[in-house]
Amino acid sequence: MTLLNPIDVLPARTVGPVHFIAAGGSGMSGIARLYAELGIETSGSDQSDSTALQSLTRVGVTTHVGHDPANLGNAATVVISSAIRTTNVELVEARRRGLRIWHRSAALAALMSGKRAVSIAGTHGKTTTTAMTSVMLAEVGADPSYVIGGPLSTTGVSSAIGDGDAFVVEADESDGSFLQYPTEIAVITNVGADHLVNWGTPEAYADGFRAFATRPHVRHVVINIDDPGARVIAGQIADDVPHLITYGESADADVRITDVRAAGNGVTATLTYGDDHGPITLQVPGNHNLANASAAYAVGRLLGYSHDTCIMGLSRYEGTLRRFQLITDTAGIRVFDDYAHHPTEIRAALTAARRATEAGNEATGLPGRLIACFQPHLYSRTVDFSDEFGEVMTLADIAVINDICGSREDPIPGVTGQMVVDAAKRHGAKDVVYVVDKYDLPEALNDIAKPGDLIITLGCGDVTIVGPLLAPLLAQRPEARGA
């Protein structure tokens, strides 16, 4: 894969009919839904059926399971992602016909035309921050349009077209997509090394965020001053952007969080911005979610909404699927699922899980343990971060490691989940279990877990199946039956 270069796009209503290749993907499905909601003739295909593909069918998208040149129908525009290989038969046919071929970022940019575009970028945290911002704006009556990388837990959808001026998007940096959008408000949640298979070096990766923050349309930059990488960029761009707002727990943050306290399964703190000062309470746990909420709050203020209404809107946020999502609480064992797949994301998730474990111990009197079940994603990422993955696994009492979910990549000889197991042991993890087949994970976790334990599955691949498969095993325990 190579980095994308921004291109000129036409308004979305002028480019139909539109066909999406791999329409069931987390990024593609949300965009395809919006084209259909605009009344544009929309079709899509994917190699296998999925709930996302079925959801598109329900909103009027003509969907196909399997790839076939005939699936293009009368399409004028074909939308692809960076994961689509040049040999895909539908892409080959589109090129043969001379059709307009857009990357999904161009298709999204076309939808954003004429709106106040809020693009939320970062190495991690962008899905949650985008979701928080979208929910907040909806709750304050802004009726935003949005595209999020994961479905909201309350609605089960990841995108919507609203009548309001704001269009909030999760801005993907992995392939340079975030440079395509007509961004007015640019948010940077943090900057660490990732996607080096595309960017080459950490320095080039950071340069991409600088370019994102200084694009011609940008009027405001909102940036996390607590994050070392983002702080460096804030200093570098301060004289090159019209308006910069920082946020975090640092004393010099413009939007500052203090007095952080756990509150059940959520968290509470004090938020200060200028002369505005008061409590903020979230229904999701962790300091990292307070940071995400601070970014969303700054966006709300920039769009003209008051302190009180923004705080109220954020209090209504209930999460997105696969972001510290409770799967089951059975037989005294809680099972959560989280999309975290980068070492920094995993650290944040396990830190929040540790607090939830301790809170549960206080409530039940049981000496519960934190059990992390991690599935590495991508062979290249495992090569780059196996040592960091191993180190962060020491935050759990027990680490259960699965083999790598390769997704779009071909295997690399010698690169397996064992690399993470070995790294965890080097860093002093006392209890590490390697389970190669993901379908063996539910039984392994059931054998390990005791009442009071908290299990969290981690990864952006198909490890998400484990919690639902574990739940019925837990339900068969004597504790669940009251025996």
DSSP assignment, residue 329? E
Whole-number pLDDT of residue 429 = 93
Residue 281 CA: distances (Å) to CA of 23, 126, 128, 291, 427: 36, 20, 16, 12, 36
d(CA 344, CA 388): 9
Determine if residue 144 is left, alpha or beta; phi over 0 gives left, psi from -120 to 50 gives alpha, anything else beta. Answer: beta
Spatial contact of 143 and 115, defined as CB atoms under 8 Å apart: no
Q: Is 364 annotated to bind ligand?
A: no
Work out the angle between the directed axes of helices 202-213 and 228-237 (0-180°, nearest 10): 50
- CB atoms under 10 Å from CB of 113, counted, come to 15
β-sheet bridge partners, residue 255: 247, 273
Residue 233 maps to a domain: yes
Backbone angles phi, psi at 74, to 5 degrees: -105, 30
**3-state SS assignment for residue 398:** strand
Spatial contact of 294 and 271, defined as CB atoms under 8 Å apart: yes
Residue 90 maps to a domain: yes
Final residue in a domain of this structure, among 252, 283, 315:
315
Q: Does 140 share its domain with 190?
A: yes
Q: Does 91 share its domain with 176?
A: no
d(CA 43, CA 198): 29
pTM of the model: 0.75
Q: Does 26 share its domain with 67?
A: yes
Final residue in a domain of this structure, among 292, 315, 338:
315
Q: Is 126 annotated to bind ligand?
A: yes
Structural domain range at position 305: 114-315
Q: Mind giving me the DSSP string for 457-468?
A: EE-SSGGGGHHH
Q: Does 271 share its domain with 306?
A: yes
d(CA 91, CA 95): 6
Residue 25 maps to a domain: yes
Q: Does 366 share its domain with 440?
A: yes
Length, in residues, of the chain:
483
Chain segment 147-181, per-residue pLDDT in tens: 998 788 777 788 999 999 999 999 999 888 999 99
Q: Is 341 annotated to bind ligand?
A: no
Please work out, in degrees rounded to the nearest 5, the angle formed at the alpha carbon of residue 81 by the alpha carbons of 340 and 210.
Answer: 65
Q: Does 437 share its domain with 307?
A: no
Q: Is 123 annotated to bind ligand?
A: yes
Q: Please list the ranges in the chain whose pLDDT falls under 50.
A: 1
Q: What is the dihedral of CA 8, 13, 15, 20, to 10 degrees?
A: 100
Q: Is 438 annotated to bind ligand?
A: no
Of 55, 59, 182, the residue nearest 116 (C-alpha): 182
d(CA 315, CA 280): 7
Residue 289 maps to a domain: yes
Final residue in a domain of this structure, among 257, 289, 315:
315
Question: Domain holding 65: CATH number?
Answer: 3.40.50.720
> What is the token pair recorded at 423?
């790294």
Whole-number pLDDT of residue 158 = 86
Whole-number pLDDT of residue 483 = 52
413 Cβ contact list (under 8 Å, min separation 6): none
Q: Does 243 share its domain with 170?
A: yes
Residue 328 CA: distances (Å) to CA of 161, 260, 386, 466, 467: 32, 27, 30, 11, 8
Question: Domain holding 252: CATH number?
Answer: 3.40.1190.10
**3-state SS assignment for residue 80:** strand
Q: Does 432 share its domain with 302?
A: no
Please work out, in degrees rounded to the nearest 5, the angle formed at the alpha carbon of residue 340 by the alpha carbons of 339 and 345.
Answer: 150
Q: Does 294 share its domain with 353?
A: no
d(CA 351, CA 359): 13
d(CA 433, CA 483): 30
Q: How many structural domains comprise the chain?
A: 3
